[in-house]
Each structure stands twice: as C-alpha cells, then as structure tokens.
Amino acid sequence: MDYRRYIAERILIDGVKKEEIEENLAVPPDSSMGDYALPCFKFAKVLRKSPVAIAEELKEKFPVGGEIKEVSAVNGYLNFKVDKRSLAEEVLNQILTEKERYGASEEGKGKTVCIDYSSVNIAKPFHIGHLSTTVLGGALYRIFQFLGYRAVGINHLGDYGTQFGKLICAYKHWGNKEEVEKGGIHAVNDLYVRFNNEATEEMEKEAREYFRLIESGDQEANALFEWFKELTLSYVKKIYDKLHISFDSYAGERFYTDKMQPVIDELNEKKLLKESEGAKIVDLEKFNMPPCLILRSDGASLYATRDLAAAIYRKNTYDFDKCLYVVAYQQNLHFKQVFKVLELMGKEWAKDLVHVAYGMVSLEDGAMSTRKGKVVWLEEVINKCVEKAYTVIDEKNPALENKAEVAEKVGVGAVVFGALYNNKIKDIVFSYDKALNFEGETSVYVQYTCARARSVLDKAIAEGYSWNDGIIEPCASEAELIKALASFPATVKAAAENYEPSYIARFAVDAAQKFNKFYIDCKILQAGDEERKFRLRLTQAALIALTNALTLLGIGVPDKM
C-alpha cells in the first residue's frame, strides 16, 4: 500500500489538490511522533488560519482506524501512526514480488524525454570537468526509463570550430600517423597543445584555411577530421563503459550545419532578427537579458544558432515531452536566451525545455581542468580510485576472490557516487579517502551493506532455511528499516520530478544505515522460526531496494567484499 496516497485521499483541504497533500507528507525525524507527518504551514494562506488550528481541525475530521492507528496534532503538524504489522506485510510483499522492478512505474508510458549530457569535445581530453554532466545525465536517463518514459540520450559532441583547423595544421607540421594511432587521444591532444604554444602567424592563417576546407567539404581535411573523431570516440567509449553510460545519438554541433539557415530565415520572417554592429541578434532587453547573438559580423554562426537548430530538430524527430540540457550553471544565461528566442518564435514546446544546471568538480589539491598546465583526465581519477579500492579491499579481506573485479565496481562507484550524493547545483571537492570510506556516506558503505545482506541470505540457504512467508509485529529497528524501504518509489518519482539523483543516493545511505542497525539489534539466523523467516524476508527486501538504487545511479553491486 502507498501510505502517503492512502492518507492524502482522506484529507480534505479546500483549494488544495490531493497530489499536493501527498507530496508534502514527510517522515518525521523522531519516530515517536509518528510514521508520517503533514506540515500545515503551506495551507495557512489558503485557509486564512494558523497552522496549529488547521492541524487540529484536520485531526478531528480524519477517520482513524484500519491502516491508521493514531492521529495527533503537534505545533502545526498532523502526525500519523500506521499499523506497523500491516505496513511490514504490504512493503515486504511488494518488494519481494516486484524485485528489480521495485520503485518502477508506468507513469511515463507514451512520453519521451530527451537528455543532452556529457557532450565531449572531439580531439580534446575527457577531463574531470565532464564527470558531473556524464553521470548526472546517465542517472536521469535510467531514472526516466525506470518510470516508463522513452528516454533519448544525446551526446551533443563539440565537433565544430576553428580548433579543428588548428589540429590539422599541427598534424601536417609535426604529426606522424603511426605515433598518433599508437598514442590515440593523448597524442592528438599533445598536437593541439603544441600548436597553441608554438604556432606562428603563418600557421594560424593555415589553420583558418583548413577549417574553411572542412566546412566546404574538402575530402582530405574531412578525412583527417573524421579520423580524429574516431580516435576520440574510441577512447571515450571505454570511459563510458566503465561508468555504465550509453547514448542513442551522437549528433553534435557539426550535424546542424545545414539546419541553421532555416532557423535564421524563420527569425527573419518573424522580424525577430536585428542588426547590431554588423552582427545579427535577437533583442531580449525587455526580458532583462542581453541580446542573443545569432550571427557574428563575419557571418559565422554561434552556439546559440546551433542550439536553436538542435532544439527544433529534436522536437521534430523525437516529439519530446521534455528536453533536458545537463550543462554547468555557468551556461544559465545562454539557455535562458535560447529558450526565450524559441518562445518568441512561437514554439509552444519551449516551455518543455529544461536546463539541468550543476556545480563544478575539483580535486582536494584544487586541480580541476589543469595540473601543471595539463588536463586532469577523468580516467586518471577513476584508475586511482580503483587502485586505492584494491588496496583497501586487499587489507580488509585478503582471501576475497575476484578482488580486481570488486575493486573496479567499488572504485568506479566511488567516483560516480561522489558526484551524485550532494545536490546537483553544489560545487564538489572530490576526496579519494572520503569516497572510499567504508563507514561514511559513500557508495562503498552501501555496497558493503549489500554484501553483508547477501552473506546472510547465502548462509541461510546453506543451512536449508526458507522464507517464502512470515510476518511478525516489527520491533523499532525493523519498523524503521521498513519505512525507509517503503519510501523508495516516492523517492524515485521525486528524483525525476526535480532532476535530482541525489535523492536516490541519500535514500541508499539512509536505508543502509537502518539495515545495519537492524542487523546489529536483531538476531537473524539465530532467531526463532517465525522471526527468522520475517527477518530473512526483510534482509532480502533491503538488498533488492539498495541494489535498485545503486543500479539507477550507475553503480555495480559486488556479491562479496
């Protein structure tokens, strides 16, 4: 049973929808107050009464009985105590029946969500700055799929600009095909860095000409560009595979080269395009924004031009219900401008475009995109985390089989969880030691909890126990764990509505903490028959919910640790 919905359906507040009541129901920090609580402060303005008075009136009207054992009003909160045995039975039956689908729904059936994330630059390193957009976008992709949506993952590649002319020029002067093939993206990046450090005026001129040749369709220039692109994608795919990231489209900036002119023509037709110092702009002054630059004075397009074309193409191609742009908060103004221009063009669906902004990631030493003038590669961070994880695992459990495989899941999981645990808009300082702490609010802690639960179940099977049924009145620590597990479906839904995978990460830590308290407080295998069955069912339910949570975040779950 969905207790939030059950309670919400039995509360009548004039002018307030049931959905709003359900959304505001929370779990009190002190369980002695109740299992669920409704803060009445938000309704004070609508009802023109104090929260205390509202809570008291609602308490008198609420039909106590059945699933709800007690209702109380305390300082503007309406508190509910549920029948814990009924709650336990409902939650365990639901989890053990649905298993890997626990928390999923079909609410998004027939709807499409496009998610633009990662957006790596061709011939440039996949650095730590790409971590948040990649894992945040990947988590949202899985969350929306889990809720029944058709998710379309788009890697809007940075594959357009004068830098490619520079790269070809550098390769022509200093490159060697065999060395570049052997060095891959690293060798390509070295050539680009060398150009920026050593290029003469003549070489800069050559670079501009090579870019012109790319745009005009020159066979040799485009063959070199496609080679650099192939080397880049081959490299980043290895990183994506480690992070459990996939895409449905790699249509980048260059893809929209022939799709920009129709957008410019439409802006002209609708008298939105104005000239300013030789450039073409859309004036947004009355919306308290600087003008949106569409064409430079030399006729060159800009990011906004390509993003306008991309948005229209995506709507025409996928007919999305939502289109998310997982891009750092520094681009807030850019997306406000683009969305406003589309609105002015009469695109009613502009309201369905969402900029999912996030904070920056840095290492403890302050490095983010440079270290001694060089990029901090994401693969370096991942590899270091995996190596450290192996060392920790080897110390804690030297006899563990498949240590390298476990270390991979633990190390990669630590990197992903480190980027997803906090609210997405916060800047993150990544710490290897904190991320790999078995006792902290980390993926390692949750993974270890899963391994602990798996170990209990394996021992139960080895000893011939079964647990297909069994229900008892739960004790305090059992009831707390059950309530935590019961919140998972609502947590997944809220994570999608707010574009916040951190909700799921925090659920995982909270549920893991409550499982470990239950594990310490309650004998499981040594308990009497009925208690043992119930506790084994609760252990299995916890393992299922925690595994589902980590899977949505893109984190593997080792069987043993």
Q: How far apart are CA 443 and CA 68, in angstroms?
A: 35
Contact 151, 144 (CB under 8 A): yes
The residue from 124, 166, 242, 424 that is catalytic is 124
45 flagged as catalytic: no
The residue from 127, 156, 347, 533 that is catalytic is 127
The residue from 59, 81, 130, 409 that is catalytic is 130
Contact 385, 411 (CB under 8 A): yes
Q: Report residue 281: phi and psi, to 5°.
A: -135, 165
Q: At 270, which amino acid appears?
A: K
Q: How far apart are CA 547 and CA 29, in angstroms?
A: 25
CA dihedral 140, 142, 143, 148 (to 10 degrees): 130
> Cα–Cα–Cα angle for 366, 370, 372, nearest 5°?
95
Contact 361, 132 (CB under 8 A): yes
Q: How far apart are CA 25 and CA 232, in angstroms?
A: 48
Contact 202, 181 (CB under 8 A): no
127 flagged as catalytic: yes
Percent helix, percent strand, percent coil in the chain, to nearest 5: 60, 10, 30
Q: What is the DSSP letter of 374?
A: B
Contact 338, 311 (CB under 8 A): yes
Q: Report the relative pairing of strands 36-39 and 273-276 from DSSP bridges.
A: unpaired
| Enzyme catalytic residues | 124, 127, 130
